[in-house]
Structure 1
Amino acid sequence: MRDLDTSTMTCGEGLLHLLKAYGVDTAFGIPGYHTVEFYRNFDKMGIRQVTPRHEQGSAYGAYGHAAATGKPGVCFLVTGAGVTNGTTAIGEAYSNSIPMLIFTTMNNVHELGMNGGRMHELRSQSDILDQVTAFTHTLLDARNLPEILARAFAVFSGQRPRPVCIQIPQDVLAGPVSFDIEAWPPAPKPGPDPNEVEKIAGMLSESNSTMIVVGGGAIPASKEVLELAERLDAPVINSCAGKGVIPEDHPLCLGFSQAFDPVRDLLREAGAVLAIGTEFAEPDRYFTEDYPIDGKLIRIDIDPGQIMHYSKPAAALLSDSKLAVSAILKALENHNSPQHDQPAADLVAETRGKFSGDLCKESPKHKKALEIIHDVLPENTIISADASQVCYTGLYHYPMSHPNLFHFPNGYAAMGFGVPVAIGMKVGAGDKPVACITGDGSFQMTCEELAAAVEQKLSMPIIVWSNDGYQEIREYMDSKGLPTIGCTIYNPEFKKIAEAFGAHGRRPQSAEELREALEFALQADGPTIIEIDEKDAWLQ
């Protein structure tokens, strides 16, 4: 695109052309007084604009789009208030390793740091953004934009993907282009050290009881992880983000089960624990004690900060997971297969029989609905699962056969994730089915985004589990002997809320009506709210 005439372009227009050069086709944002220059000639660029109803929805939409497409999600945020409104969603993307490209404006260069009472003024916007991004850059000269964008895409392709923010003063954004419109080459992924690969292959072949723990970083290596598990005859545990890395109905898979004592016993007794792309996060063990690993811990991670985090490893590979596991498989060809006292499939079946997989007392009700949802939704449905009790139950009881289809706010753990992330997913997924599962409390935090889903004509079920409050916190407070103050809330009629927004609404009174509502929602001309009240007779 070097022959593109940039002589009359503003920096904002040049930015749009650069984004197109990198394959960006969608942006989320609410135009504001300070961001209008992002939209000069936007209508001629072939980029889809999605307008949420809150800036948090802009960032969550970008999150969902990235989750569904694998490409960085893009959002535009207005200075100050737009940034602070969007920070929760950016923080979730940072925790969950989602590539996101945030563009925000700033006051004019000569106004920065003057604390002069300008609209949307912050003393230091960067101080906020630095907490939730891989890096934040203030663009003071438009000539630097191609290099800064290249650095951002290097984060997305060559290391642990996380949000990047580029903040541009208004006068720089409206100023001349002064750069070539050209995408820079992608950064290569890091590969494993051959000596360490050989060391790990020896350790795995000598271990008589190996377990594998997979996180979101193992998603690119899904095929290789399954081959390695079968080669080692090793049970596999997945984190929230690692659901489906190997099919959860596979005989070697224990699923999301770190919180249950029989599985924790297996971890404690394992001679070697191979952790691939996981940070051993607190939500993954559902707030139980730390992982009980007494054997040799082997870490594979693309993030050097994680290699030495949590516990001292016996060996480690700083590498892309696919490259690392492929190298280990190759090295194992020169080693004998490990010897076990009991086939791992038998051990997994025996262990599964020792725990229910239920994380709360309402799980049996959740399971009745989740079984129907799982049966009706196509196998390739992308799920946006909000921070809610029904989704906690689903971490074990909603098995996935493929990776990167069940998305849960397991890092930052903010409520309100479900609907706006599902919108971004559906915009990116096109004909691929998308569904949201949320709770009544979580839904009400971002239900205004239903308007954006209607506006975009997004066909998807939004399943709202109703229990009149923040049941997870209610039970936790009760377990501590505390009064459950603030945990019971008033709920509107969700079916009428849906209809008021121009969406569809259903309130099934039986298992068959839930099935019918889901089938309808998958074919409807817009979103469908499906309320499931846990007090209904069919769930008892």
Structure 2
Amino acid sequence: MAVTMSCGEALLRLLEAYDVDAVFGLPGYHSVELYRGFKETGIRQITPRHEQGSAYGAYGYAATTGKPGVCLLVSGPGLTNALTAIAEAYSNSFPMLVITTMNQTHELGMAGGRMHELRAQGDIICEVTAFTHTLLDARNLPQVLGRAFAVFSSQRPRPVCIQIPTDVLEGPAEFATEPWPQASVPAPEGATVREIAALLCGAHSPMVVLGGGAARASAEAIRLVERLDAPVVSSCAGKGIVPEDHPLCLGFAQPFEPVQEMIGEADVVLAVGTEFAEPDRYFTDEYKIGGKLIRVDIDPEQLMAYSRPEIALLSDARLALAAILEAMEEIGTPRVAAPGAERVTAMKEHFDGDLCEDAPKHKRVLDVIREVLPEDTLISADPAQMTYTALYHYPVRRAGCFQYPNGYAAMGFGLPFAIGAKLGAPDRPVVCFTGDGCFQMTVEEMAVAVEWKLTLPIIVWTNGGYKVVREYMRSKGLPNVGTDIRNPDFAALSQAFGGNGVRVQSLDHLRQALAAALNADGPTVLEIDGDAPWLM
């Protein structure tokens, strides 16, 4: 007699068919059936120490592999523990497949005091997913997974959640474990492309703004700004799409008033894959775009956000920029009033890029770090003060090399994201930038880094509290309340987990310790005291 697979077993086969080779999660009472037949697959199980680490790890894995990260979550607290990290992936447009369980079908909505019970679990998770599906019939699973991977491949990538009641998970599959075809990305419409090309070629003082939506269009973006001879600025997520040492690149510069004025005075602004998000301006007021705005985005809602566009093009960024370049070739050479490189050089003389009082100290450290790290290093950066300085003072030359929780801006991102990124690309250097407050939010994941013997330098800047908030409170005339914290010895804490730990004593010591950490067997915490005399 033929053996029928359970829905949980068939789900694993389908995941393999979609080229999933790793999942992040903590098995729990309601989710154990997800692991029936698991050892017969080629999928790796990564077990974090908190479900937030599951989702952040899946997010980091997606960043280095280009594939959706997958996390398996138990119902109730497993899902709610992971929610912050899922929201971060949603805000920053990364693909993540969230598989979570539920109480049995006949128990749903009955308020029977069941373990892990939520009145409406789907209402919670649907706020931070492209869609959430409750699987009430196992036969629908192939179609639902097909929809999920269509989101990942053909539109603004965001998390998708499939929640499965335990009786459905344990029940028979009764469906073929074959993947559905992959959906293609939207291509640009020809007449709109020609209209954009004509507007760009007629511009006298054009500017280009690149966001994370253009991350896979680096070659086309470089060709376009050079063809247009236009200065380019990037969002946090857009760092490195055009190398930040390129003569036309201002890098992450939107927080600075002279650059905001430069964009506002441009006669044509081309914005590709960007939200003009508040963190990209470092919480300064929205600036006015006085010229004609061209929006290119894969998300139709973003085309009409922030400021009224002259032209809006719904398209994949790479296809759009390639088509615009081709159309510009047919029109002729743009005639700008002043060379773009001269405009960039003149602008850089108008701002020093210090957003906080410790920025000069950060710059000394960042300069040494940049000397040591290879060009392809991925930086996983927590929202700590040194990171804010690094956004404009740590130039990167490749897209995706600087990962920062820009939209949701949750502390604790750095370490678990870095772990997922390193697991996804074990031969690529990955380094975590964090602060004492951020690090303590997810420090338990050090155990995972040790368990997998990950070569992972973790640079921890300490200042005895939440200094970003402390300075903000002071700027508003508020007393310093709740922002001073007691720290452990972070180097010793790393050693207690089984990792390596160093308390940095000088810039030369940092240079040597970081070089050693890049070749260490396991993670290394490099603790930097922000008040140390050698930084003065």
Structure 1 length as normaliser, TM-score? 0.98
Say which SS state the counterpart of residue 337 (structure 1) adopts.
coil
State the Cα deviation string for residues 224-277 of structure 1 (Å, max 9, x = none): 011000000000000000000000000000000001111111111100000000
Give the match for residue 236 of structure 2: 240
Q: Does the alignment pair 1:413 with 2:409? A: yes
CA contact (8 A) 1:6 1:14 kept: no
Q: Which of residues 421, 425, 445 in structure 2 aligns to 1:449?
A: 445
How far did 1:6 drift? 7.9
CA contact (8 A) 2:273 2:297 kept: yes
Aligned pairs for 1:392-431 within 5 A: 392-431=388-427
Q: Does the alignment pair 1:361 with 2:357? A: yes
Aligned AA (1:428): G
Say which SS state the counterpart of residue 242 (structure 2) adopts.
coil
Say which SS state the counterpart of residue 333 (structure 1) adopts.
helix
Say which SS state the counterpart of residue 147 (structure 1) adopts.
helix
Q: Does the alignment pair 1:200 with 2:201? A: no
Task: Provide the aligned C-alpha RMSD in A.
Answer: 0.9
Q: Does the alignment pair 1:339 with 2:335? A: yes
Q: Does the alignment pair 1:379 with 2:358? A: no
State the Cα deviation string for residues 389-435 of structure 1 (Å, max 9, x = none): 10010000110000011100001000000000000000001111111
Structure 2 length as normaliser, TM-score? 0.99
How far did 1:369 drift? 0.7
Aligned AA (1:530): L
CA contact (8 A) 2:206 2:336 kept: no
Q: Which of residues 1, 10, 17 in structure 1 aligns to 2:13?
A: 17
- Runs of 4+ with deviation above 2 angstroms: 5-8
Give the match for residue 508 of structure 1: 504
Q: Which of residues 167, 173, 176 in structure 2 aligns to 1:180?
A: 176
Q: Does the alignment pair 1:49 with 2:42? A: no
Give the match for residue 33 of structure 1: 29
Say which SS state the counterpart of residue 132 (structure 2) adopts.
strand
Give the match for residue 461 of structure 1: 457
Q: Give the paired residue count.
A: 536
State the Cα deviation string for residues 119-138 of structure 1 (Å, max 9, x = none): 00000001111100000000
C-alpha distance in structure 2 between counterparts of 1:410 and 1:420, whole Å: 16
Say which SS state the counterpart of residue 269 (structure 2) adopts.
strand
C-alpha distance in structure 2 between counterparts of 1:340 and 1:298, whole Å: 17
Give the match for residue 76 of structure 2: 80
Distance change >3 Å, CA 141–CA 204, structure 1 → 2: same
C-alpha distance in structure 1 between counterparts of 2:269 and 2:5, whole Å: 56
Say which SS state the counterpart of residue 174 (structure 2) adopts.
coil
CA contact (8 A) 1:108 1:170 kept: yes
CA contact (8 A) 2:237 2:406 kept: yes
Say which SS state the counterpart of residue 255 (structure 2) adopts.
coil
C-alpha distance in structure 2 between counterparts of 1:431 and 1:221, whole Å: 24
Q: Which of residues 276, 279, 285 in structure 1 aligns to 2:272?
A: 276
Q: Which structure 1 segments of 5+ residues have no match?
A: none
CA contact (8 A) 1:56 1:89 kept: yes
C-alpha distance in structure 2 between counterparts of 1:243 and 1:359, whole Å: 18
CA contact (8 A) 1:280 1:291 kept: no
Tell me the percent identity: 63
C-alpha distance in structure 2 between counterparts of 1:49 and 1:346, whole Å: 53
Q: Which of residues 137, 154, 178 in structure 1 aligns to 2:150?
A: 154
Give the match for residue 123 of structure 2: 127
How far did 1:341 drift? 2.4
Give the match for residue 525 of structure 2: 529
How far did 1:375 drift? 1.1
Q: Which of residues 495, 499, 504 in structure 2 aligns to 1:499?
A: 495
Q: Does the alignment pair 1:142 with 2:117? A: no
How far did 1:181 drift? 1.0
How far did 1:338 drift? 2.1
C-alpha distance in structure 2 between counterparts of 1:340 and 1:178, whole Å: 64
Distance change >3 Å, CA 83–CA 6, structure 1 → 2: farther
Aligned AA (2:278): E
Say which SS state the counterpart of residue 444 (structure 1) adopts.
helix
How far did 1:336 drift? 2.6
Say which SS state the counterpart of residue 184 (structure 2) adopts.
coil
CA contact (8 A) 1:276 1:301 kept: yes
